[in-house]
């Protein structure tokens, strides 16, 4: 599974990186985010593009596992 590491980046960079994966045809990938704003924006784009996702909480970040 491909990992998109957006930790340390501010919006809109995480959304742009996830959009590249979607446009590139990735059906399954995970996204690492370390801010609530990034989490909300990334999950919003995933939802809008028809991806199902789950979230795993870590100490200093979240892992969003996306699948279409």
- Two tokens at 21? 């994966």
Please state the pTM of the whole predicted model: 0.95
Distance in angstroms (rounded) separating the CA atoms of residues 11 and 56: 21
pLDDT in tens, 27-60: 999 999 999 999 999 999 999 999 999 999 999 9
On whether the CB atoms of residues 65 and 57 are closer than 8 A, the answer is no
**Residue 8: alpha-carbon gap to chain centroid:** 13
Domain CATH code at residue 15: 3.30.110.40
**What is the residue whose two structure tokens read 């990992």?**
3
The encoded tokens of residue 65 equal 């596992």
For the chain, what is the domain count? 1
* Domain of residue 32, residue span: 2-67
* Tokens 């919006």, located at residue: 11
Please write the tens of the pLDDT for every residue from 15-36.
999 999 999 999 999 999 999 9
Helix axes 36-48, 13-23, angle to 10 degrees: 30
């Amino acid at each position: 599974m491909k990992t998109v590491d957006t930790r340390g980046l501010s919006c809109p960079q995480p959304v742009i990186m996830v959009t590249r994966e979607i446009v590139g045809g990735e059906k399954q990938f995970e996204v690492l985010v370390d801010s609530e704003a990034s989490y909300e924006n990334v999950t919003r784009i995933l939802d809008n593009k028809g991806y199902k996702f789950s979230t795993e909480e870590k100490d200093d970040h979240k892992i969003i596992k996306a699948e279409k």
